[in-house]
């Protein structure tokens, strides 16, 4: 996933991690290095996979 796609994915699915990082916005995501950004995407995907009744992926 390229950097812009990863940022868009995180912004669309911010409901999944809103309790963990309430200030997650484009500025915050843009400040992350590539590994941190991809880690955030994996975290969101993991929550959606592990808790399908609680979280729905937004595209």
User: What DSSP string runs through 2-33?
Assistant: -HHHHHHHHHHTHHHHTTT-TT-SHHHHHHS-
Q: What pLDDT, in 10s, does the model give residues 3-49?
A: 999 999 988 887 777 655 656 788 888 999 999 999 989 988 998 89
Indicate the pTM of the whole model. Answer: 0.76
Q: Establish if 55 belongs to a structural domain.
A: no
Total domains in the fold of the chain: 1
Q: What is the pLDDT of residue 58?
A: 83
What is the distance between the alpha carbons of residues 20 and 14, in angstroms, rounded to a whole number? 10
Q: What is the pLDDT of residue 23?
A: 65
Q: Establish if 37 belongs to a structural domain.
A: yes
Q: Establish if 46 belongs to a structural domain.
A: yes
Q: What is the pLDDT of residue 33?
A: 95
């Amino acid at each position: 996933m390229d950097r812009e796609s990863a940022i868009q994915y995180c912004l669309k699915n911010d409901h999944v991690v809103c309790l963990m990082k309430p200030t997650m916005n484009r500025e915050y995501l843009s400040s992350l290095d590539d590994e941190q950004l991809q880690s955030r995407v994996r975290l969101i995907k993991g929550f959606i996979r592990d808790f399908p009744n609680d979280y729905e992926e937004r595209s």
